[in-house]
Amino acid sequence: MSHYDFHRQFREVYDRARATFNQGAKDAAALLSTEDVAFLQSIGGRAQDMFDYAEDAVNYGEPDPETALMIESVRRDYFLNIQKGERSNDELDVSTMPPKNASVRGIEWLPRIIPKTKAKLRGELPQDLMYCCGGDRKFFKTHDLHPAEFLRAVWAYEDDDDKLIDWVENRSKVAVQTGA
């Protein structure tokens, strides 16, 4: 893998995944070649992530390839620089996540998306959980946050949820004040 142009290779894999999904591939194992999977693993990604992007892009029109690249770029940076290219052996236990309607400081979905985003950042999402799913996208749109930007903020405030919540509150107030 070339670090300089990994984004081009990512886009090629994304495009192949979307085309293969359109041709009827209905699971991650059937979606990508061995080489594509190896590439994704080299940047901290998984075939399941690409399947989720392809499925939602085809069915709902998002996330677009640029958003997927931006998300996976943050994951890649964390994987290479913080995890030193070593995958985590941990996996988020979905049963420990707050319910979808949980809120903190009046912000719905935030208690649920925080542990989910930390799991995405660390490569610890279970196969059946997608970062930037429909519920996440609704949260991001409501609060005028880009999914990659939120992932980066979770990294910045990884050990301090209160600071992350403050950040979301401040950004959300900006969105309300500007009419965004």
CA distance 117 to 130: 10
- pLDDT tens by residue, the chain, 180 residues: 688 899 999 999 999 999 999 999 988 989 999 999 999 999 999 999 999 999 999 999 999 999 999 999 999 999 999 999 999 999 999 999 999 999 999 999 999 999 999 999 999 999 999 999 999 999 999 999 999 999 999 999 999 999 999 999 998 875 555 555
Given this model, what pLDDT does residue 148 score? 98
- From the number of C-beta atoms within 10 Å of its C-beta (0-12, 13-18, 19+), residue 57 rates as buried
Which amino acid would we find at residue 17? A
Which amino acid would we find at residue 70? M
Structure-block tokens of residue 110: 């935030």
CA distance 75 to 152: 9
What ranges do the domains of the chain cover? 1-84, 97-180
Which amino acid would we find at residue 126? P
